[in-house]
Structures are given as C-alpha cells and as structure tokens.
C-alpha cells in the first residue's frame, strides 16, 4: 500500500523536477496530476511532467481532469464529457498513472458534487452507464484503470448503487475509488462511520483500486452539517480504514486530499500514526 497526495503541486504545465521533489521530500510516494482541460493538452507537455516525476522518484498516483458532466441530459455536452475523459485516459497512459479518477457528475449546474433531486433517478443512472461504456472501451485499449468515486449527493449514492453500475458497464477497466467520508450522510453515521466504511469494503472490496483519505465530524449547528476535517480530527476510524484497504488493495494508492498545503504534513502524520498502530506498512 502506498501513500500519496492530491495537492502540493502547481498547475500541471508548470510541474518541474523541483516541484516533484518537494512532494517526494514531504514523504509521499506519489501524487495526483490534474490536467484541467484534457482535450487541450499536448503530448510534449504531458511527457515533461512524466520526466519530472521520474527524475524525482515520484509516481503519478492518479490522473485527474476537468470534463463536462457525464450525466448531462444535453447530448452534445455529455458527448463532450465522454471525449474529455477519453482524452484523459490517453494522457494517463503517457504519465504511467496508477488510475484515472472519474466523477459521476451532477445535474446541479454549480458543479459535479452539488445536490440535485434528479441525481438519484433511473434516467440519470442510465445516462451514466451509457457514458461510461465508451470511456471504458478507450481505457481498456490504453491499458489504464478507471477509478470511479461516489457520494451521497451524487448518482452513485451507495455501495449497492456503485455495484450496480460496475455490473451494468461490465468492463475490466472500470473499478472503484473508495472514500468513506463521501458516504456519511446521517447523524448516526457521522458519529460512528464504521458501518459505512465496512459496507463499502464488504460490497466493493474486490473492485477497489484506489482511495482518498479524509475525515469528518458533525458541525455545531441547528441543521445537519457534516464537515470535512483533517484526518485524525474527526470520527473516521483511520485504523479500520487502513486495515480494510490493505486487505483488498495491498498495491493501491491512498491519497490525502482537500487540504491546503500547510495542513498536509499534519494529515500525513495522523495517517502514518494510525497505520503504525494498526500494523499497516506503507511502501
């Protein structure tokens, strides 16, 4: 099992050996590379990033990027999203990325992870399946692995729903990016996320190829507000998470994410401390 980070790097076109070495010196084996507009990227620029990572002894743990929503009811925009993600697969091959990150999208125009009541309808789910079939075909041809993530606000709002998607697309290239905090949607689960965590691994363990490390807690408010916090500051059982990930994905990457650079060292220390206490060893 390997520890990486989503962050600590400049815009992908500005990544050089020194930038990659800073991440490696911070104690990470790999990092996420975000190609913000895959359809506008070019092979020489992508290859320069790969060379910088190689020179620093750093892996591209995950390729990420911006693309139009995969569940957009506008067929032209959805087609653009498919093309963008297919392009990202090609760049991921050049980068030697361990996985390609996939977000399911949302019908909320504000963003891919914002809520909308129709995110959970059969029609939206069917559009996601239809989008991922041609993307998975390109991923398989390029020899890269797609790692799709879910969230209680998204069309993939449960472990069962993700299992249904993987079965419907039926591609060896489409796998799961686990992130237990994304599936904490109730007060009881926020107080003790172990039920959520175990359900994800019980249902999707064999399909898990990567993961994101965050933490959560209930905010002090008169409405339910579940906040993301630095790992170790919330209620997620990090030791259980690490043990279960190690059991099903011993060669996979866990990425610390959604933190400003100044908080990343504290997050890494908490994750490494939990790993030591749980008897889990990072490569």
What's residue 136's pLDDT?
Answer: 98
Q: What is the pLDDT of residues 110-154, one digit of tens each?
A: 999 999 999 999 999 999 999 999 999 999 999 999 999 999 999
Give the contacts of 15 (CB within 8 A, at least 6 positions apart). Answer: 9, 33, 48, 49, 52, 53
What's residue 277's pLDDT?
Answer: 97
3-state secondary structure (DSSP) of residue 39: helix
Average pLDDT of the chain? 97
Give the contacts of 268 (CB within 8 A, at least 6 positions apart). Answer: 3, 5, 26, 27, 28, 256
Closest CA to 144 of 211, 81, 63, 207: 63
What's residue 79's pLDDT?
Answer: 98
Q: Alpha-carbon distance 236 to 197, whole Å?
A: 9
Residue % of the chain over a pLDDT of 70:
100
Q: What is the pLDDT of residues 243-268, one digit of tens each?
A: 999 999 999 999 999 999 999 999 99
Instruction: Please say whether the beta carbons of 91 and 41 come within 8 A.
Output: yes
Q: Are strands 2-5 and 174-178 parallel, antiparallel or unpaired?
A: unpaired
In terms of Cβ atoms closer than 10 Å to its own Cβ (0-12, 13-18, 19+), residue 255 is: buried
Q: At residue 108, does pLDDT exceed 90?
A: yes
Q: At residue 67, does pLDDT exceed 90?
A: yes
Q: At residue 69, does pLDDT exceed 90?
A: yes
Q: What is the pLDDT of residues 189-198, one digit of tens each?
A: 999 999 999 9
Q: Token pair for residue 36?
A: 């913000």
What's residue 118's pLDDT?
Answer: 98
Domains of the chain, start order: 2-278 (3.20.20.150)
Sign for the pseudo-dihedral over CA of 78, 83, 87, 93: positive
31 to 24, 99, 164, 235, 251: CA distances (angstroms): 9, 11, 30, 25, 15
Which one-letter DSSP state was computed for residue 221? S
Closest CA to 132 of 178, 69, 182: 69
* Residue that has been written with the tokens 């002090």 in this structure: 220
Q: Residue 215 pairs with which residues in a beta bridge? A: 229
Instruction: Please say whether the beta carbons of 145 and 175 come within 8 A.
Output: yes
Q: What is the pLDDT of residues 35-45, one digit of tens each?
A: 999 999 999 99
What's residue 269's pLDDT?
Answer: 98
**pTM reported for the whole predicted model:** 0.96
Average pLDDT over residues 194-209: 98
* Residue that has been written with the tokens 């796998």 in this structure: 175
Confidence of residue 231 (pLDDT cuts 50, 70, 90): very high
Confidence of residue 222 (pLDDT cuts 50, 70, 90): confident
Q: Alpha-carbon distance 161 to 226, whole Å?
A: 22
Q: What is the pLDDT of residues 267-276, one digit of tens each?
A: 999 999 999 9
Q: Token pair for residue 271?
A: 């994750």
């Amino acid at each position: 099992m390997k520890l990486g980070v989503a962050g600590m790097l400049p815009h992908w076109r500005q990544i050089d050996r020194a930038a990659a070495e800073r991440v490696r010196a911070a104690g990470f084996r790999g990092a996420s590379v975000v190609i913000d507009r895959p359809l506008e990227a070019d092979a020489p620029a992508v290859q320069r990033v790969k060379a910088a990572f190689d020179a620093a002894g750093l892996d591209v743990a995950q390729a990420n990027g911006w693309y139009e929503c995969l569940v957009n009811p506008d067929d032209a925009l959805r087609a653009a999203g498919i093309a963008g993600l297919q392009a990202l697969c090609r760049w991921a091959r050049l980068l030697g990325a361990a996985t390609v990150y996939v977000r399911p999208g949302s019908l909320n125009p504000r963003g891919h992870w914002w809520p909308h009541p129709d995110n959970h309808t059969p029609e939206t789910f069917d559009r996601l399946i239809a989008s991922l079939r041609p993307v998975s075909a390109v991923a398989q041809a390029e020899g890269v692995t797609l790692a799709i993530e879910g969230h209680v606000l998204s069309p993939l709002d449960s472990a069962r729903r993700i299992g249904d998607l993987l079965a419907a697309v039926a591609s060896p290239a489409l796998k799961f990016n686990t992130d237990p905090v994304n599936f904490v949607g109730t007060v009881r689960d926020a107080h003790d996320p172990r039920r959520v965590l175990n359900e994800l691994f019980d249902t999707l363990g064999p399909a898990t190829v990567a993961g994101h490390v965050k933490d959560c807690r209930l905010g002090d408010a008169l409405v339910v507000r579940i906040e993301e916090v630095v790992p170790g500051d919330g209620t997620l059982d990090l030791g259980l998470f690490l043990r279960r990930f190690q059991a099903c994905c011993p060669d996979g990457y866990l990425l610390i994410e959604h933190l400003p650079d100044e908080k990343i060292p504290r997050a890494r220390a908490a994750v490494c401390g939990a790993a030591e206490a749980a008897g889990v060893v990072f490569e």
